Structure 1
Amino acid sequence: MSDTIDHPQPTPRRYRLTTADGVDIDAVLLRGTEPRTTAVVLANGFTGTYRSPHTRAVAESLVSIADVMTFDFRGHHGSGGYSTVGNAEIHDLEAVVAHLRGLGYTSIATVGFSMGAAVVVRHAAVHGGVCAVVSISCPSRWYYRGTRRMRLIHLGVGRAVGRFFLRSFRKVRVTDRRWEVRPAEPREIAGEIAPTPLLVIHGEADTYFPVSHATAIHDAAREPKELWLVPGMGHAERAVSPELRARLRSWLRERIPA
């Protein structure tokens, strides 16, 4: 299936949003040529940014069916504050969704990658108000250290030298405070998303989180739900192929009310 859709280049517009807890969020909205009331929000993984060519490719592939808003989570690149690696970031996503509602969008879907996937799952379960949720490469539980890559991530966010590296070389500022209250894990809260449709996508070659994370979330969710395990696919935004973008676009087209 081809990912190529003939349409004019989307027009980007940049916004500065403020979360309920006072953090400044850098966001960009890609609009189609005609006024629409449908939108998709893309939520990046940890260290990701809307400037990434991988995120832009997903956004541009979806703009044929809806306007698309991308943003940087707190502590990332152009946004303010400090990353909490998936906890307070729920406020960032709600600020984006609320802003889209204020612009007149009535049907909003959320698509998240890795950390962003955990955020969209929690957001849909806690806040609701979206018409579809897509979780890509999502951790099912917190503090997972079962792979080498995740052990390195924990070293990076848990030690001062790791946070210095992230700040200096990845433009990501991570808080040095531990979570005071553990939020519900994606596997614990996925059942609260229904009746909103949930799509769980996971690569069988993911080196961060094994497939068992995806099946745990899917098993915990209630209908309507789908699980796509993709052979050869790695982790998060970088692993989304043109074929998967096209397949995702078709799934969303059927679930976003016109």
Structure 2
Amino acid sequence: MTSEAEGRFHIVDVSSLTFRHQRATLRTDDGVRIEAVYEPCTAGVTETVIVLAHGFTGSADRPAVRRAAKTLARHAAVVTFSFRGHGRSGGRSTVGDREVLDLTAAVRWARKLGHTRVATVGFSMGGSVVLRHAALERGTGGHTDAVAAVSAPARWYYRGTPSMRRVHWVITRPMGRLVGRYGLRTRIHDQDWDPVPLSPVEAVPLIAPTPLLIVHGDRDPYFPVDHPRMLAAAAGDGELWLERGMGHAENAAGDELLARLGDWLTRR
């Protein structure tokens, strides 16, 4: 796997500027086709659009993602998309490396649709991607104006919980990748990272002055609370919400938390 500079992308089958519900196929700078969905704000036209990045094995059409998008759409327009190797998108998952290109494509599409302000929110793997994207993508039309990471890891290769040991088995073993492909509907790249991409904890000091929010549950079975605390300490300038009783990522994010996220993303 490689990590390269983010570039421009091409849009396929997208209509002219509009604020109506629509689906599109985006093409990333490295040529991967990404499915994306745009949903207008249910409270009326807003300048802000929230781009939602799902977790590993998720997709734009998974129930937890659709529920999150519906709640966030009460605050702003929402773009959801499927990372490479997930859903109807092409390519194979690099588990947080080249997925930054996918998010960049979605953000640029959101701006092309006419919104002047774009905020990003990511869950788990998507949380690591939004942090790296906010640090790396600046001033090219693919940047974010506010970023929130939910249940994100601070560092790579973490195997300290049974849940993460199972994830690593799926990613690194041939049999695991077969389970990922046919059981979890996720196509995973079979090559190691080369070079190893910038980690989330290395990325967060580069995000300022963009507003940053770290959200994590105190019952997360994948990443314990030292991960969000490490991210918050490295960021220096940002907010940390430790959610009592919350588990992991979009499946554990309740409507009340999603409503607070929507309010934060539209007001920062």
- Is the TM value for this pair above 0.5? yes
After superposition, give the CA deviation of every residue in 1:165-194 in whole Å (9 maximum; x if it has no partner). 111121110010111101111111101111
Aligned to 1:213: 227
Deviation at 1:11, TM superposition (A): 5.4
Contact residue 11 and residue 32 of structure 1 kept, 8 A: no
Aligned to 1:46: 56
Q: Alignment length, in residue pairs?
A: 245
Aligned to 1:32: 41
Does residue 181 (structure 1) correspond to residue 190 (structure 2)? The answer is: no
Contact residue 203 and residue 235 of structure 1 kept, 8 A: yes
Shift of the 202–124 alpha-carbon distance from structure 1 to 2, 3 Å rule, reads: same
> Could you list the runs of 5+ residues in structure 2 that have no partner in the other structure?
1-18
d(CA) in 1 for partners of 2:195, 2:63: 35
Aligned to 2:6: none
Counterpart pick for 1:239 among 215, 228, 252: 252
d(CA) in 2 for partners of 1:30, 1:82: 26
Over the residues paired in the alignment, what is the CA RMSD in angstroms?
1.3
After superposition, give the CA deviation of every residue in 1:223-247 in whole Å (9 maximum; x if it has no partner). 2x10000111000000101221122
Which amino acid in 1 is paired with 2:253? Answer: V
TM-score by length of 2: 0.88
Deviation at 1:113, TM superposition (A): 0.2
Which amino acid in 2 is paired with 1:58? Answer: A
Does residue 162 (structure 1) correspond to residue 171 (structure 2)? The answer is: no
- 1:1-258 matches, cutoff 5 A: 12-32=21-41, 34-128=44-138, 129-223=143-237, 225-255=238-268
> Could you list the runs of 5+ residues in structure 1 that have no partner in the other structure?
1-9
Contact residue 49 and residue 55 of structure 1 kept, 8 A: yes
d(CA) in 2 for partners of 1:232, 1:114: 17
Which amino acid in 2 is paired with 1:243? Answer: E
d(CA) in 2 for partners of 1:131, 1:106: 10
After superposition, give the CA deviation of every residue in 1:48-98 in whole Å (9 maximum; x if it has no partner). 112122111111111122110001000001000000000010000001111
d(CA) in 2 for partners of 1:170, 1:95: 24
Aligned to 2:16: none
Contact residue 54 and residue 126 of structure 2 kept, 8 A: yes
d(CA) in 2 for partners of 1:244, 1:100: 24
What secondary structure is seen at the aligned counterpart in 2 of 1:178?
coil
Contact residue 44 and residue 113 of structure 1 kept, 8 A: yes
